[in-house]
Structure 1
C-alpha cells in the first residue's frame, strides 16, 4: 500500500544552495506536522531537538552526510553467525522501537515526546517504519526511519543484546536490495564508529542532495513481508 500524502506544510525550508557550507544546522523553528517533516526530508533536512524542552526545533543537513550504499555493507563472520540467532520483523513494534531508542538512560538522548508523536503519525500514514530484531519473543534491538521512494532516512537504532542493532541494519539492507544499484540508499545522518564498521561512509552535502531526485522517483521497497531470518 502506498503511503498517504499529508496536508502540505505551511513552512518553507528554502533553497539548499543557501545553506551555510560550514554548518550542519540550517534552520530553526517550524513544526513537526507530517507535511512539514516530509517537506524537510525532501530538501535533505531532518529535525533534532537541541537545548531545553520548549525551545524551537532545530533542522540539520550535515555538511558531511553519513550514508550506506547497499552493496558496501560489511558483515563480519561473527555478525553473520549472530544473525542466525535472531528473527527480523518489520513494522510490528514501531512505538516500542522509538521508546527504546529514546530511553533517557542512553547517553546523548534526543528523542522527546514531540519527536515520538510525530514519527508515530508518520507511521500511521505509511512513511515511518521499524526494523525489529527479536529472540524468544523479546525485542532485542532495532531501528526506525522514513522511506521516501528509494531513500531510507534512518533516525535511530538501539540494542539490548550484542549485535542486535547491527542485525537490524543487515535486515534493512536485505529488504532494500531488490532494486538496481544506485536506486536506493540508507541515510544515517552522521557517521559513528559503530556505523563505520558496517560500511557507512561520508559524502559531501551537495553530493547527497544531488542524489535525492533520482531516489525519490525510485520504487519504494516492499515491506509487506514482516518476518524473516537472515
Structure 2
C-alpha cells in the first residue's frame, strides 16, 4: 500500500513537472467517467432523465446524465428544451446534468427587497437589452475564473447562440459605463439565466429584477434558475419544484410563439420605477383579495 502511494505520488510529480498535466488530462477526459454515464455521439440525442447516475452528483441536486458531445448550438438548445444543463471543468469532457428538483422564478412573483426599492428610486441606473452582449459574457467569465467558469469554448458557443437569436443580455449602465448585467438563453416564453455580474453593488440584482418585471408584463411562463438553488435566488422569489412539474411548464413554454420580437427594444420607453410600483401595487391587491 505504501509503495502504491509512493508510485502515485511520484507519477503526479512527473506529470506536473515534465508532462505539464497531460496524464491527468487524459485520465479525466478518457477514464474517470468511463461506463459511468451515457456517452454522447454525433447524433442529437440525450437519454431520459431516469437514466442518470445518482452516485455522481454536483452538490445535493445534480445527477450526471451524460458525458461528451460538443458546444454546437443545436445540442445546447436541445439540452435546455429538455431540462438538461451542461457544465465543464478544466481538462474534463462536457458533463450534462439533470435533477429531480428545479429552481424557478415565476416572473410575476419576483420579490423586490426594500434596499432594492430604495436603489431603484434613486434613478441612477439605466437598463438595456442586447446592447453589449459580448461585454456582459466576458464580465461574467472574469468573475468566475477561479471556478473555471465559462471556458473559451463556452464563450464562443454563447456568441453563436446570440447570433442565432437564442442568447440575450441585460445591461445595467451608470454614467454610460457598464456596471452590471446578466445573460441567458430564451425561446418561446422561457428564459434560463446563465450568469450575472456586478461592478457596482446590487446591479446584478437590478438586472434580474428589471428583467423579471418586464417578462411578467409580457406573460412569460418561467425564468429557469437551474438545478442548483441558491439563497440569493430564493431571496428574490425563486422556488424549488419537482422535475415533473418543471418539465410540464417547460413543454408549454417552449411550444409557445416567440413572445419577444425584438430583445433590443425590450426596455425602450419603459420606466423601471413605475414598473416596480405597478408590480408592488399588484401584489398588494392580490394579498388583499386573498384576505377577503
Give TM-score scaled by structure 1 length: 0.87
User: Aligned partners of 1:229, 1:132: CA distance in 2, in Å?
Assistant: 15
The answer to whether residue 53 in structure 2 is matched with residue 14 in structure 1 is: no
User: How far 1:226 moved relative to its partner?
Assistant: 4.4
Measure the CA separation in 2 of the matches of 1:173 and 1:56: 33
Q: Larger relative CO (CA 8 A, sep 6+): 1 or 2?
A: 1
1:168 aligns with 2:168: no
Partner of 1:6: none
Look up the match of 2:244.
Answer: 206
**Superposition deviation, residue 38 in structure 1:** 0.9
Higher Rg of the two aligned structures: 2
Higher mean C-alpha deviation, range 57-66 or range 21-30: 21-30
2:253 to 184, 195, 215: 215
Q: 1:70 to 1:135 in 2, by over 3 A?
A: same
Residues 39-78 of structure 1 aligned to structure 2 (within 5 Å): 39-50=78-89, 52-53=90-91, 55-78=92-115
Q: Which residue of 1 is the match for residue 35 of structure 2? A: none
CA-to-aligned-CA distance 1:190-216 (integer Å, 9 cap, x gap)? 221211110112112222122211111
Whose helix proportion is higher, 1 or 2?
Answer: 2
Aligned partner of residue 102 in structure 1, secondary structure: helix
CA contact (8 A) 1:184 1:218 kept: no
Q: Does structure 1 conserve the Cα–Cα contact (< 8 Å) formed by 2:47 and 2:66?
A: no
Q: Deviations along 1:90-125, whole A, 9 cap, x unmatched?
A: 001111111111115655351110110001100000
- Offset of residue 46 of structure 1: 1.8
Tell me by how many angstroms 1:174 deviates. 2.4
Question: Relative to 1, partners in 2 of residues 1:149 and 1:47: Cα closer, same or farther, differing over 3 Å?
Answer: same
Q: How does 1:143-162 map to 2 (within 5 A)?
A: 143-162=182-201
**Consecutive unaligned residues in structure 1, runs of 5 or more:** 1-8
CA RMSD, Structure 1 to Structure 2 (Å)? 2.0
**Are the counterparts in 2 of residues 34 and 122 from structure 1 also a CA contact under 8 Å?**
yes
**Residue pair 1:86, 1:229 contacting (<8 A) in 2 also:** no
Contact 1:141–1:168 (Cα < 8 Å) also in 2: yes
Query: CA contact under 8 A between 2:85 and 2:98: conserved in structure 1?
Result: yes
Q: Deviations over 1:156-215 (max 9, x none)?
A: 1111111101111111112211344xx510001122121111011211222212221111
* Cα distance change of structure 1 residues 56 and 221 upon mapping to structure 2, 3 Å threshold: same
8 Å CA contact retained: 1:66, 1:188: yes
Matched residue pairs, number?
A: 218
